[in-house]
Amino acid sequence: MHDCIFCKIVAGDIPAEKLYEDDEVLAFRDIAPQAPVHFLVIPKKHIAGPADVVEADDRLVGKLLRVGAQVAAENGTGGAYRVICNNGSKAGQVVFHIHLHILGGKDRPWPI
């Protein structure tokens, strides 16, 4: 996808601190962490956001959660973490390539 920053990270055109990678999924640390552990999990395939997921993506989108859990367990969350996936700029989405935020490493800091 032209001009998508996360597609550029997938392509290796922009560096990122990668925590997990396979042929479908990439996890990397957020450049501006909001928690002691804060990384993003993305599909390598460009999907703009949650509202753009089609039925054919169901397995891939589920895999984001599974990989997120695995990477969280390997990176100091103790199994306690929050998952956020923003849809739309009014909800705070800035990068329009679907991503799970995984936030952890704190004790129950979340409002909900």
Residue 8: enclosing H or E segment and its boundaries? Answer: helix 5-11
Of 77 and 97, CB closest to ligand 5GP = 97
Handedness of CA 60, 112, 48, 104 (dihedral sign): negative
Examine residue 29 and tell whether it contacts Zn ion (CB under 5 A).
no
97 binds, among Zn ion, ligand 5GP, none (CB under 5 to 8 A by kind): Zn ion
Residue 98 Cα distances to 2, 39, 57, 78, 91, angstroms: 15, 13, 12, 25, 13
Residue of 16, 49, 75, 97 interacting with Zn ion (CB under 5 A): 97
Examine residue 7 and tell whether it contacts Zn ion (CB under 5 A).
yes
44 binds, among Zn ion, ligand 5GP, none (CB under 5 to 8 A by kind): none
Please give the DSSP secondary-structure letter assigned to residue 26: E
Enumerate the active-site residues.
99
